[in-house]
Structures are given as C-alpha cells and as structure tokens.
Amino acid sequence: MAGRNHLYVPGPTNVPDSVLSAMHVPMEDHRAPDFPNLVKPLLEDLKKIFRTETGQAFIFQATGTAGWEVAMCNTLSPGDKVLSYRFGQFSHLWIQSAQRMGLDVEYHEVPWGEGVPLDHLEQRLRQDANHEIKALLICHNETATGVTNDLKAIRDVLDRTGHPALFMIDGVSAIGSIEFRMDDWGIDVALTGSQKGMMLPAGNAYVCFSQKALEKRHEARLPRNFLNIEDMIQQNKDGYFPYTPSTPMLHGLRRAIDLMLEEGLDNVYARHHRLAEGVRRAVLDGWGLELCARDPKWYSDTVSAIVVPEGFDARDVMKVAYYRYNLSLGGGLSEVAGKVFRIGHLGDVNELMLASAIVGAEMAMRDVGIDVKPGSGIAAAMEYWRDTAPPLEA
Amino acid sequence: MAGRNHLYVPGPTNVPDSVLSAMHVPMEDHRAPDFPNLVKPLLEDLKKIFRTETGQAFIFQATGTAGWEVAMCNTLSPGDKVLSYRFGQFSHLWIQSAQRMGLDVEYHEVPWGEGVPLDHLEQRLRQDANHEIKALLICHNETATGVTNDLKAIRDVLDRTGHPALFMIDGVSAIGSIEFRMDDWGIDVALTGSQKGMMLPAGNAYVCFSQKALEKRHEARLPRNFLNIEDMIQQNKDGYFPYTPSTPMLHGLRRAIDLMLEEGLDNVYARHHRLAEGVRRAVLDGWGLELCARDPKWYSDTVSAIVVPEGFDARDVMKVAYYRYNLSLGGGLSEVAGKVFRIGHLGDVNELMLASAIVGAEMAMRDVGIDVKPGSGIAAAMEYWRDTAPPLEA
Amino acid sequence: MAGRNHLYVPGPTNVPDSVLSAMHVPMEDHRAPDFPNLVKPLLEDLKKIFRTETGQAFIFQATGTAGWEVAMCNTLSPGDKVLSYRFGQFSHLWIQSAQRMGLDVEYHEVPWGEGVPLDHLEQRLRQDANHEIKALLICHNETATGVTNDLKAIRDVLDRTGHPALFMIDGVSAIGSIEFRMDDWGIDVALTGSQKGMMLPAGNAYVCFSQKALEKRHEARLPRNFLNIEDMIQQNKDGYFPYTPSTPMLHGLRRAIDLMLEEGLDNVYARHHRLAEGVRRAVLDGWGLELCARDPKWYSDTVSAIVVPEGFDARDVMKVAYYRYNLSLGGGLSEVAGKVFRIGHLGDVNELMLASAIVGAEMAMRDVGIDVKPGSGIAAAMEYWRDTAPPLEA
Amino acid sequence: MAGRNHLYVPGPTNVPDSVLSAMHVPMEDHRAPDFPNLVKPLLEDLKKIFRTETGQAFIFQATGTAGWEVAMCNTLSPGDKVLSYRFGQFSHLWIQSAQRMGLDVEYHEVPWGEGVPLDHLEQRLRQDANHEIKALLICHNETATGVTNDLKAIRDVLDRTGHPALFMIDGVSAIGSIEFRMDDWGIDVALTGSQKGMMLPAGNAYVCFSQKALEKRHEARLPRNFLNIEDMIQQNKDGYFPYTPSTPMLHGLRRAIDLMLEEGLDNVYARHHRLAEGVRRAVLDGWGLELCARDPKWYSDTVSAIVVPEGFDARDVMKVAYYRYNLSLGGGLSEVAGKVFRIGHLGDVNELMLASAIVGAEMAMRDVGIDVKPGSGIAAAMEYWRDTAPPLEA
C-alpha cells in the first residue's frame, strides 16, 4: 500500500526518526574501556524519567513481561503474599505472572473500565494487621481499558494505614508520558518497556528500585538468574553489563531521553494530556460514543478505548481501518474483545498525527455502518486543540 | 517539536522508509566490473516510468533546473528559436533558462491558473511556415498554480499542423504521478527531478530523449560539458557513468522504481487522481474556497493551489501551520505570493496522510481568522474517499 | 578517532550493512492480521540454522544468558540433577545459572584449554544406572578459551551408554558459524544469541527444542513466566508473540538468515574454518606463540585465544590496540585474565577484515615489547588463504 | 561475498557511519522559515575547509565535473585564453571541459608522473606581457597518477611575474585531506566534490570564490544557468537555495565538517601524510616497486599509483583483488591503463583500514605472479606507523 502506515496502537509507538538513526550504528565492544562513557550517564538520566534521585535504574534486555519478574524475583520469596487488583488484560497478566512465580496472590476483581478502589484497598490493608501482604502490585495505566490509577492517592492509603508493603508499579503505558514521581509517591519498584512512552522499539525493560526495595534482594529467595539485579549492580557500577547489551538500543535510549529532557518532562505530560483530551472530545462530543473508562477520573492520557455501539464488532472497524486506510488501531483484549477499539496517543505524537487516527477511525466506523457524522470527531478535537494551542512567539 | 513534521509541499515529497533504507549503504566502486548489474536494468526500467520503449533515459547528478539545460543544450544551437508559454513560476524559469543559454525564446503570457491555449498554439505553429521554431517547451504540470496541460492535445496540434518542432516537456511535478506517455504522445525530450513523484531526495535529474532528439546532438552547437549526453551515451552503454554517480541515489531509485512498478503505473495515476479529488472536495465543497486553477480541465492531480479569501495573507496560514502544527504547506510564488497556499499530494501518499494536511490547513486558516467550518474540509474529502475506496478482499 | 573501529571481539560481531538497513524500519503493529507473514516463515527458516526438521525454534527478546534458563526452566524441576563440565567462563556461568535456578548441578573441572573429556563422561553416565542425571549441559564452543567440543562424539557416548538425559547445548558462539546438526546429533535443546554467528545486535535468544524436550514442559516444575515456551507455542502457531517483539530485530533476522541460506550453511562453515586456520597460522607459524586451546582437536573456528609470553600482560596489548589502532580485541576472562587476548573470527568476516585484526594485534604486541617479527603473522595467514582460495570463475 | 567490501579507490571514499546516519532523515521543506538555521552556518563552516575568510563558498547539487564549469562560466567569456598543464586524466578532462565551453585553452604536456613545471610556467607568464591569459587552471592533486602540485610555489610564480590571471584549482582529491590554503595562497577559485576528502557520497560540488573571482561574474559572458553563482548568491544570503537541494547531503555535510573540525584540519593533514607514507614504505621498501610519481616532491598523500613490473597487467591485479578478496583498488586511466593500480588513502581512514588494502594488494599481486615477498609491504608500513604513532595518554 502506498504511503506510510498510521500506527496508533498503544505500543509499539512511533519511534522518532532521529532515534532510529541513532540506533543505526556499527556494533561495538561492550567491554571497551570507554564504554562506560555511554552507560553511566545513561543510567543516571534514566532515573530522571522515573523522577527519582534516591532509587537505582536498571536496563534489561527484555520486555515489560520480564519487568514484572524483575520487580518480584529480586524482592520476594516463594509463598509471599501480594495484593493486587484485576481490571484489564495487563493487570490480569501481572497477577498471572506472580502466580506462576510461586507467590500467594490475593487479587480482587474490579469492573473493566474502573481502577483500584481506594476504600477497598484501605480496608484490606487495615485488616492486614500482621503485615502478611509483602507487596502491592498496581498497574498504573491499564492499557487494555484506558484507565489510569491515582498513585499518589494509593500512596496516601499506604501511609494512612502505616502498611509497609512494597509499592510496585507497572508503568509500561505510563512512564515517560504521564505524571509519574517515584520519590514523591514512595514507589518501591517501577517498571516500563521501551516501546511506549520511551519511543523505542521493544526489547528493553527499564526497572527502577527504591533503596528499600534494593535491600530486599538480600533476603528474597525467588530463584533468579537472568533477571538478577545483583549482577547488574556489580557491573553497572563500573559502567558495564553482566551480559551483552543491545548497543543500538542504548544509543536509541540516549537519544530518546535527550528528546524528553529537552522538551521537559512536565511539558511531555502536558502535551499528552492536551492531545488525549482532543481525542476524547472526538469520541464523546463528536461521535457521541463512550469510552471504556467509566468516569473522567479514570481517563487515560495515553490510550483511549472506544466502545462501539451495540450490534457492531470493533474488530470489523479495525480490519477496515487496516486494510483500506493503512491505519493500525488497538483491539479489545479478552473481556472487551470486539467491544472496543483503542487509539494510542502516547510517545512521539502531535495533533496532526492524531488527526489521521481520528479521521481514519471515523471513516472505518462509517464503512462498517456505525452512524457517526462525517468530520464530527475531528472537528471537536481540532477546536479543542486550537483553543489550547500555545501562542506563537513573535 | 514532538511528533513528525507533516510535509505536504509539492516537493520534496515524503520518501518511503524503504527507499531511505535502500539508500543507507556503504560507498562502492563505480568502476567495479559488476557495477553495470545495477546500472543497466535501472536505465531500462527508468524508461518504463517515462513510458517509452524507443527513447533513451539518462540519470544526471543534478536537479530539474539542470534538466532544462540537458534538454536544450544537447539539441539546439545558439540563436535557435523556441516557443513557450508562461503561466507560473516554473514555466517562467524554464523560459529564463532558455534565454540565459542564448536561445531566441518566443513566449506568450497566459493568466496564472490556466495552461497552454491550444488555439493560440495551433495558430502560431501554422504561422511558422518556415519552421523557424525548433522546439516547443511545455511545462506539463505547473507546480506553482496546480495546472496540468493536456499533452496529448498539444501533440495533436503539432501533428495537425505538421510542425516538426521538438516537443520538450518539463515533467518535474508530473512524471511518475500522473499520466505521461512519451511514445504515445510523441514527446522528444522529457525531464523530471528525483524529489517529486519519484519519491527520492533531490539530487537527480532524469531526462529522456526520443531517437529524433538524440540525433540532434550531432548538430546542436550550444556549449555543453557536464550535461553532455554524448558522454553518458558512451559510458551508459557499458553500465557506467562519465563521472562519479551518487550510488545511494541509484539504490534509492532502484527501490522507488520497484515500488512504482509493483503498484502499477496506471494504479499510481489512479491513486493520485482519487487522492487529489478528495483534496479538491475539501477545498471547494467543504471550505467553499477556490483553487488557483480556473477550470476543472486544468486541475492538477499532484498539487492544489488554494486561494485564500480577500484580506488574508496565505503566508500567515503557512506560518501558523508550520510553527503551531508542524505542517509544511507550499507557498505562493511570485505573482501569487500571499494569495495561495499549496498542498502537494504526490508521491508516496495516502488518504490519512492528506487528512493531516487538510485538517492542519483548516486549523491554521481558522487560527488566522478565515471562516471555514470546523471539519468541513475533511468531511468532504473523507466521504469522497470512502465512496471511491476499493472493496476489501474477502 | 578517524576511520572505522576494527571489531574482532568474539561478539558482538560485525553486523552486515544490509542487516542494519533492514532493521531501520518504522514500528508496526505486532497484532496486525498480516504480521504472521513475517513471523511464520522466519520461525521455519530459523530451524534450518539449527539443522532441524523435527524440532521447534523460539525467538526470545532476551540474551544467551536467558537462553540457558529457557532450556532448563521448561524441561526440569527443582532439585533435578544435571551434569556439566567447567572449562571456561561461559561453561562456568551456565553452571552457575543452573545452581541459581535450584538444580542439583554435578560438574567436573577441566583444564581451561581443553573440552569435555569423553572417557570421563562415558564412565559417569554408565555409573548413573538409575538415570538420576536428567540433563547434560554442554557448551559447544567455549568462547573464553577458543575450545570446541565434538558434539557428535558426545552424542555417541549418550547412545553407547543408553542414557536418556536431555542433551542441552549452549551454541552461542557456534551456531550459524560452525557445523551444528540438531537432528543428526540428537540434541534436545540448543540455544544461541543474536550477536555472534547470527550477525545481529544483541537482544535475541534463539532456542530450539526437540520433540522430546518439548514434551518435558508438561512435567517440568521450575517456575517460569517470561521464558515460558508454552506461551510462545500458543502464540507462535498463529504467527504472533505473547508480548511485543522487537520488530527491527525480526526484520534483521530475516535478512541475516537470507544471507546465510544464500551463501549455504556448509559454505558458511567452510569459510569460518578457512579464515580461522589463517589466524592460527599467524599465531603459531608466524608469531611462534601458543593458543589457549591445547590440542588441534579443540581448535575453535570462531575464536582464537592467544597466549602472550611470560612476563607480558595481554591487557596491555588490548589497550594499545584499542587506543592507538582503533582495534577491539577480546580479553582473557577470569582464570585466563591477562594471559590471553582473543580474536573473534565469526559472522560476517573475510580475509582482509581479519588482516586488520592480525596486523593490529602484531603492532600492539610489538608496541608493548613482545618480540614478534614484523609481518610474520599476516604473511603466514595470507599464504594459507591464497593457497586455499577458490579459483576465479572465467 | 561475506564480509564488507574493502574500498580503497581514490573516491568515492569510505563514508563514516555517523555521516550515513546523519543523512538518513525524512525530507523537509527547503523553504521553511527555519531552514536557514541549517544552511547559513554550513556555508560559513565550509569556508573553513577551504581555509578562507574572505572568499565565498557554494554548494552545488552536482559533481566535480560541474565544479570545473562553475569556476569557468562565472568568470570567463567565450574565447578567453586560459593556461593549463596536462599530466594525468583529470587535468586532461578539465582542459577538455574548458575547450568544450568555448575557451581558448593553451595547455602543455607534462610526463604523467610529474606535475606543473615551475620554470616553464614562469617563462610562459613572463612572455604574456599583455596578460592575455585570463586564468591558470591547475589540478592540485592529479588523482590518476598520485601527483601533488605545490600551489604555494605556483602562487609565488604568479606573484613574481606580477601576472593577474585567475588562479583556479581543481582540489577534488586534495581539499579536506592535504594542506590547502585559499587565502594564504591567493587562490581565486577552488573546487572539490563531496566523495573524496569530504567523506560524503558523490552528488555535491563545493566551489569557493575569492572576492576577485566573484567580481568577474559581472563581465563574464559564458552562458550559465544551473551553475550560475548569481542565483546562489541571491538565495544563499538568506539561507536558501535557488532550487531544491538534497537535504540529506546537507545534513551529511554538517556532520562531515563537524568531524573534520573536531579532529582539527592540521591534524587531518598530518594523518593523511603519515598514513600515505606508510603506504609508500610498503610499495618502495617492502615490495620494491615504483610509484607513478617520479620524485618524492610529487608524492601525493591522498592516492598512490603503483607501477606493476613489466610483463604484468595491473588490471589482472585489480580483478583478482575484487573477485577473490573483496578489495576495490583504483585502476590506471588512459595513458597508464594496465600499468598502475591505485590505492586511495584519503578521507575517513586509519592504519588498519590501509592494512587491508596493502595486504590485499600483496595477495592479489602474488596471485597473478608478481614476486613480492609475503608480508613485506605491510611490515614496512606497520613499522613506520608504529614509529610515528602518538604516545598514548596515561
């Protein structure tokens, strides 16, 4: 098909051309004496993305799925009780991972479209007077439903209840895109992948530990080898890795972090919010459809899951979008399969990129018979974006 | 600025990623014994783009401006009379080139927004009983105004009048995008650049000669050196070049031609027409604005020049588009400066790429106070595109 | 420093330019309906590299270190006894991995510079009448010492003793470079990384299972999640992955496998042998030095570990090579640190690339005072290569 | 063939990987308001390569062949007398270009292997009391024979004789590699191409004019259009070009100039001299062969033309080198065809790159029966390079 593919799944995201070029490098000796000149500042700057000064960040040659394991195997022991909530495919998979690793997972079902119920959490933590719960596993942004949890509020619950559980966060579709503050929010382990807000191809998991979490490695007895942070700690301190890293990914990360810090993280968050709000205006005001997220407080600034009207299958919309308009939309997963399609609006995006996504979704919906008014979605989005555009410099 | 730049000037156009990757190669010896394995098929396939079996195609390390010279210096002598029409910046510049080279240029002014007046041409050729006019210089598609000439009709005039003038075509913003048939239309010299429908960076001029035009080199006395086709003929026959070619450009051309032939040239033309018509619906039906091209018969399928309403300066639209929405629109040149902005819809484009251009232009127009209805342009375009979309395969 | 870095560590190896270009692609939806068109043939062709028709190959977004885990966690249970030999840093690390995962590892020390002692192995297997040994873990090519084991002979021992242990192979610096025949040699699990003979950046582990090994997953009780082949089996059968793969790596693998199959695997092996023998002539005949590998039967065709004379530190040679001549040599690891330097001669290499390595090593050795005769190494290598060069086609 | 091609023709040269990556960019609007941010500093820094503060540098989308025309057509008129010397293929071609353009070229034959005879030049200029000679056309470094002229000495002749002829230099295989000082040496027009010392693909001609030469454009009457510096002057002053430039080449040039200025031009020259001297030691001391350059004062630091012994054809050496060892050597052109092969040692080169060239040439010579001693060439080169290597920093 002529022209570029329009990629608006919620990951992998569009990698900036300058990042792709930065990755197009010959191989190099990862044991070279000057290799640390690349690695050391990179690990330091990676911490800035997590907004931590006291924690330690690690780069694993793996994916977010491995990131869940990194968080758990370095801090917990077989049979340890962990608490979680299940409200989408990715919170589901983390729970499954924890079970597979031999943890005692207590999880609570939440309707898909909502997030962690703070009252329930507070009650449960108060109940746990003996502090049997060793860790709280929370998916910051549930990619499957477009629901974002308020981590600050959860931290407040932990503080209010005085519960010492490790606060572990899956930030895969959040970190680097929406506000995330490791130190301020007392997060113990946070992880993300390279292929979302970090604007890189898949292949890296970035995991950050608080000092409290780091200490746990000495007593944690879950088996660990490839994902052992001890090996990383030993080698990283000199600017090396315990095994061969993907040097193109390191150079790409260097460039991606530079882009983010040049824009300014707060500006990155603001941009994501503004762009996401435009998409929501298209969905709610323009098309008159509903989001999977049931309440504005859950709205995600990185991904919107759009509910198709009764009688339609969202998979038909996606298929038409892909084959007719070269547009890749995200699908509904598991419980919401066929009921929603998703637009990812994270990473290296701007208004007119999302215009393609909105227009294409609208065309595909009309093609399958969904009665949205032509141009209604994009008109709502563009007016919002225009109203909120920064003034031009003179 | 975050996200990609949206490039819809009428050249350079968006180079497909696979072409850019094909160009990312180490240098190589252009005198190597197997270098002709690259060059010979390339020159043959380049002829297919010009739709000629009897002509000869050349690749110059230069631009379209040089292409004009190639056409003239290899066929004409100082003081030779040539006939042309001036109806936009590029027809103007070709005329200027001919004058600078020492030709006796007779040109006629045509309102910008129209093309070659066939009646006038026929009259003039009939007048020229002694065949003093040695060549007819025609800009196929005037990039400045979005006006396309009917070359077949011009050929008919030449045939009808029995005039032997060389029929020379500037096809810079036409060849490889809209219908062009060198053999069928009896064209003697046709030229284009790499950065338009050929989907490459600037830096190559492609010039094709009929056998009749090739023969003229033996008598032509305009000085020529770098652009001498004799050197090319001698070296190309063995698969080499008289001087060092840009091998990345040759590899890029290989890939670009492969893409075009895989799609099929007739499909390429049809795609350009359908996409262009969508843009025109946006302009005319959606926004209620006018095109610089004064009549549908002049409408260009590669570029649309859109007239802004009285009292507005198109340059303001462009500036807002660029700085606020990362959208590059073409400007008005010379006589139409400030009066039009242009959307290039040629090369590697599809519906949702042009959706960005239309939406962005609309936003920028509204930002500067032009009263177009939000979403009106894209609604008209999308409905046209939807109506004309090919059925999906089962 | 001007000019390119000369990279002759035994991995990462030099990635062919066409592989790097193949990896320079925009991101794409790994859930797209046509994504299996990429994945399915790739998994089939990957089996060809392992020389298996009956096994199943997997692509993990991880490194060789994870590959060890994949082999073990999908086939074994906590406390299972495995047998191994330790004769270099990488056989050492695999043993360590097995221990960390909770296996009962019986390993035997072998002098570094030798490989698996077949007699001892046969004796030990015969002793194990109850077949308590569940798996035999063998490093095909010990990268640290340049020692290659004869897997066919080990298979014969297993057959002769009728021992049913799973035959597991670390082929990281072997597969794709030297002869490896999964089916013929009755290998149950074989693994490699992307950054050696596969001519890619680090970041993928390729692991291949025999049907016998695949069956073991149903009873194996080692915890597994990210590296669980069950998830891969379920998704791969439809051409997908259980989590986001690095699509650039998949495209790179496609190109790398194409290159290997075009050359022909037997030709790839023969090339590696011929190039390696030239390096050995340089070391032994030219310089009069010794290899770490103690006997020709252990000589590795992918890496040579060269012993520096008494009184010299190989690290000085490496440092001079790197900083003065932009040459990256491999260092001695652990027990042989400072005693050897290594030249990797695997992957996308030819005579004149290795000429740089040999000449550079010679210059660096002379710079630190090692008395090798100028030009002696490369003279021996070049004469061998000339003598064994294929005739030119007429 | 496996492994990389070893490219040691005297152009195109090896483009640094970082330059290739810098060129891998999406297209952009060359009329954008911020485009001058790229162009203006680039034109300023390009002057530094020519070592001029008072001149003006131009970037043409063309090759060195066009550069000759740029020099002449902007300064001279039909029938103007110019003086030149013919001592190789490229001085020959410049003379031919001048003739084709309608100049009255007086040229003198010099044996190939020598350069401009200063005595003859002085005598001829003194003879020309009426200053009929309008320009002196000198090839700084004759790429075909590996002969470098002493431009300072020629300037002294011009000064001594008080002759006002424009001093025009073809610096294609010199500028950016060996000492060149436009201002100090009173050069009026100097030109080079992108594919030599500038470390870029072919496709750009860089031409620099002194103020004196610039003024000549007002009276020069050679026809000019594409290569007219007037158009450049008008557009460049605002940071634009008169026609579409290759933006990838501009970005590549930016990176290439950065590399050169970071290394320091004097260091670049010194590196070229040291590397070239190593090659000469290989040829003269190691192999016992002769250079085409007949006297050390003519030796070129960018290319060495090596004379094969009587009875051998240098083309056989080149063919074996290419097909058997993947080594591209330069051939003998015209009068020296079959008599010499050439090693280009310019641009982004270092010792171990040239080691490949020397070793490969030696292997190919031995293969065709030329009796050079194995390892003799590289031994001589490496000892020279070792002796002259800078000390390592502590």
| pLDDT tens string B237-256 | 999 999 999 999 999 999 99
Q: Which of B337, A302, A244 is nearest to C64 (CA)?
A: A244
What percent of chain C shows pLDDT beyond 90? Answer: 98
Q: What residue of A is the nearest CA neighbor of B323? A: A392
Q: Which of A265, A253, D146 is nearest to B2 (CA)?
A: A265
Q: Do D352 and C325 touch (CB under 8 A)?
A: yes
Q: Do B389 and A324 touch (CB under 8 A)?
A: yes
Q: What residue of B is the nearest CA neighbor of D93? A: B225
Q: Examine residue C374 and state whether it is found in any structural domain, yes or no.
A: yes
DSSP class per residue in A241-265: -SS---HHHHHHHHHHHHHHHHH-H
Q: What residue of C is the nearest CA neighbor of B22? A: C21
Q: What residue of D is the nearest CA neighbor of A18? A: D25
Residues 6+ apart with CB under 8 A from B344: B8, B9, B10, B11, B13, B302, B303, B330
**Which whole number is the average pLDDT over A83-88?**
98
Query: Rounded CA gap, D302 and D197, in Å?
Result: 9
For residues C210 and C61, state if they share a domain.
Answer: yes
Q: Examine residue A394 and state whether it is found in any structural domain, yes or no.
A: no
For residues B255 and B275, state if they share a domain.
Answer: no
Q: Which of A68, A225, A319 sits opposite C100 (nearest CB)?
A: A225
For residues B136 and B200, state if they share a domain.
Answer: yes
D317–chain A Cβ distance below 8 A for any pair? no
Q: Which amino acid is at D224?
A: R
Ramachandran bin of D175, using left for φ above 0, alpha for ψ from -120 to 50, beta for the remaining angles: beta
Q: What is the pLDDT of residues B190-236, one digit of tens each?
A: 999 999 999 999 999 999 999 999 999 999 999 999 999 999 999 99
The predicted model scores a pTM of 0.98
Q: Which of D15, D24, D393 to mutate to test the interface with A (most CBs of A within 10 A)?
A: D24
How near does any CA of chain B get to the CA of A222, in Å? 42
D68–chain B Cβ distance below 8 A for any pair? yes
Q: Which of A226, A303, A324, A342 to mutate to test the interface with C (most CBs of C within 10 A)?
A: A226
| Binding annotation of A for substrate | 342
With contacts defined as CB-CB under 8 Å, which chain A residues touch C195? 27, 244
For residues C216 and C279, state if they share a domain.
Answer: no
For residues D365 and D324, state if they share a domain.
Answer: yes
**Which whole number is the average pLDDT over B170-181?**
98
Q: Which of D21, D27, D34, D393 to mutate to test the interface with A (most CBs of A within 10 A)?
A: D21
**D342 is known to lie in a ligand binding site:** yes
Last residue of a domain, one of B262, B294, B327: B262
Q: Which of A128, A137, A157, A120 is nearest to A82 (CA)?
A: A137
B265-280 and B376-387 are packed helices; what angle lies between their axes, rounded to 10 degrees?
150
Q: Examine residue C301 and state whether it is found in any structural domain, yes or no.
A: yes
B303–chain A Cβ distance below 8 A for any pair? no
Confidence check: pLDDT of C143 > 80? yes
Q: What residue of B is the nearest CA neighbor of A367? A: B386
Three-state secondary structure call for residue D168: strand
B351-367 and A351-367 are packed helices; what angle lies between their axes, rounded to 10 degrees?
120
Q: Do B22 and C25 touch (CB under 8 A)?
A: no
Considering only CA atoms, give the Rg of chain D. Answer: 21
Q: How many residues does chain D have?
A: 394
Q: Which of D70, D105, D74 is nearest to D221 (CA)?
A: D74
For residues C164 and C24, state if they share a domain.
Answer: yes
A218–chain C Cβ distance below 8 A for any pair? no
Q: Which amino acid is at B137?
A: L
Q: Examine residue B393 and state whether it is found in any structural domain, yes or no.
A: no
Q: Examine residue B382 and state whether it is found in any structural domain, yes or no.
A: yes
Q: Examine residue B394 and state whether it is found in any structural domain, yes or no.
A: no
For residues C117 and C158, state if they share a domain.
Answer: yes
Q: How many residues does chain C have?
A: 394
Confidence check: pLDDT of C304 > 70? yes
Task: Return the pLDDT at A394.
Answer: 63
Confidence check: pLDDT of C394 > 90? no
Q: Domains in chain C: how many in total?
A: 2
pLDDT level of residue C392 (50, 70, 90 thresholds): confident
For residues B284 and B192, state if they share a domain.
Answer: no
Ordered per-residue pLDDT tens for chain D, 394 residues: 899 999 999 999 999 999 999 999 999 999 999 999 999 999 999 999 999 999 999 999 999 999 999 999 999 999 999 999 999 999 999 999 999 999 999 999 999 999 999 999 999 999 999 999 999 999 999 999 999 999 999 999 999 999 999 999 999 999 999 999 999 999 999 999 999 999 999 999 999 999 999 999 999 999 999 999 999 999 999 999 999 999 999 999 999 999 999 999 999 999 999 999 999 999 999 999 999 999 999 999 999 999 999 999 999 999 999 999 999 999 999 999 999 999 999 999 999 999 999 999 999 999 999 999 999 999 999 999 999 998 887 6
For residues C76 and C95, state if they share a domain.
Answer: yes
Task: Return the pLDDT at A44.
Answer: 98
Q: What is the CATH number of the domain that holds B275?
A: 3.90.1150.10
User: In this structure, what is the dihedral angle of CA atoms A73, A77, A83, A89, given to the nearest 10 degrees?
Assistant: 40
Q: What is residue C15's DSSP assignment? A: P
B296–chain D Cβ distance below 8 A for any pair? no
Q: What is the pLDDT of residues B255-289, one digit of tens each?
A: 999 999 999 999 999 999 999 999 999 999 999 99
With contacts defined as CB-CB under 8 Å, which chain B residues touch A379? 374-375, 379
SS (H, E, C) chain B: CCCCCEEECCCCCCCCHHHHHHHCCCCCCCCCCCCHHHHHHHHHHHHHHHCCCCCEEEEECCCHHHHHHHHHHCCCCCCCEEEEEECCHHHHHHHHHHHHCCCEEEEEECCECECCCHHHHHHHHHHCCCCCEEEEEEECEECCCCEECCHHHHHHHHHHHCCCCEEEEECCCCCCCCCCCCCCCCCCEEEEECCCCCCCCCCCEEEEECHHHHHHCCCCCCCCCCCCHHHHHHHHCCCCCCCCCCHHHHHHHHHHHHHHHHHCHHHHHHHHHHHHHHHHHHHHHHCCCEECCCCHHHECCCEEEEECCCCCCHHHHHHHHHHHHCEEEEECCHHHCCCEEEEECCCCCCHHHHHHHHHHHHHHHHHCCCCCCCCHHHHHHHHHHHHCCCCCCC
For residues D201 and D316, state if they share a domain.
Answer: no
Q: Do B22 and C17 touch (CB under 8 A)?
A: no
Q: What residue of A is the nearest CA neighbor of B374? A: A379
How near does any CA of chain A get to the CA of C267, in Å? 24
Structure-token pair, residue B21: 């990757």
B15–chain C Cβ distance below 8 A for any pair? no
Structural domain boundaries enclosing A150: 17-262
How near does any CA of chain B get to the CA of C24, in Å? 6
Q: Is A44 exposed, middle or buried (0-12, 13-18, 19+ CB in 10 A)?
A: exposed
**Average predicted confidence (pLDDT) for chain A:** 98
Q: Examine residue C40 and state whether it is found in any structural domain, yes or no.
A: yes
B20–chain C Cβ distance below 8 A for any pair? yes
Beta A56-60 vs A81-86: how paired, if at all? unpaired
Cis peptide before A245 (omega within 30 of 0): no
Q: Which of C60, C68, C69 is nearest to C232 (CA)?
A: C60
In contact, C350 and C16? CB cutoff 8 Å: no
For residues C244 and C292, state if they share a domain.
Answer: no
Q: Examine residue B102 and state whether it is found in any structural domain, yes or no.
A: yes
Q: Do B20 and C24 touch (CB under 8 A)?
A: yes
Task: Return the pLDDT at A308.
Answer: 98
Beta B327-331 vs C147-148: how paired, if at all? unpaired
Last residue of a domain, one of D231, D262, D293: D262
Confidence check: pLDDT of C214 > 90? yes
Residues 6+ apart with CB under 8 A from C7: A26, A27, A28, A29, C13, C14, C328
Q: Which of C:72-131 have CB within 8 Å of B?
A: none
Q: Which of A18, A20, A26 sits opposite D17 (nearest CB)?
A: A26
In contact, C269 and C177? CB cutoff 8 Å: yes
For residues C231 and C271, state if they share a domain.
Answer: no
Cis peptide before A242 (omega within 30 of 0): no
Task: Return the pLDDT at B197.
Answer: 98
Confidence check: pLDDT of A35 > 90? yes
How near does any CA of chain A get to the CA of B2, in Å? 6
Last residue of a domain, one of A244, A262, A280: A262
C118-127 and C151-161 are packed helices; what angle lies between their axes, rounded to 10 degrees?
30
**Average predicted confidence (pLDDT) for chain C:** 98
Beta strands in A251-307, from DSSP E residues, in sequence order: 290-291, 303-307
Q: Which of B20, B328, B350, B376 to mutate to test the interface with A (most CBs of A within 10 A)?
A: B350
Phi, psi of A26 (to 5 degrees): -65, 160
Strand partners, D344: D303
In contact, A208 and A191? CB cutoff 8 Å: yes
Q: Which of D13, D15, D23, D27 to mutate to test the interface with B (most CBs of B within 10 A)?
A: D27
Q: What is the pLDDT of residues D84-134, one digit of tens each?
A: 999 999 999 999 999 999 999 999 999 999 999 999 999 999 999 999 999
pLDDT level of residue B18 (50, 70, 90 thresholds): very high
Q: What is the CATH number of the domain that holds D44?
A: 3.40.640.10
Q: Do C25 and B21 touch (CB under 8 A)?
A: yes
Question: What is this model's ipTM?
Answer: 0.98
Indicate if the alpha-carbon torsion angle B303, B304, B307, B308 is positive or negative.
negative
Q: What residue of C is the nearest CA neighbor of A63? A: C61
B311–chain C Cβ distance below 8 A for any pair? no
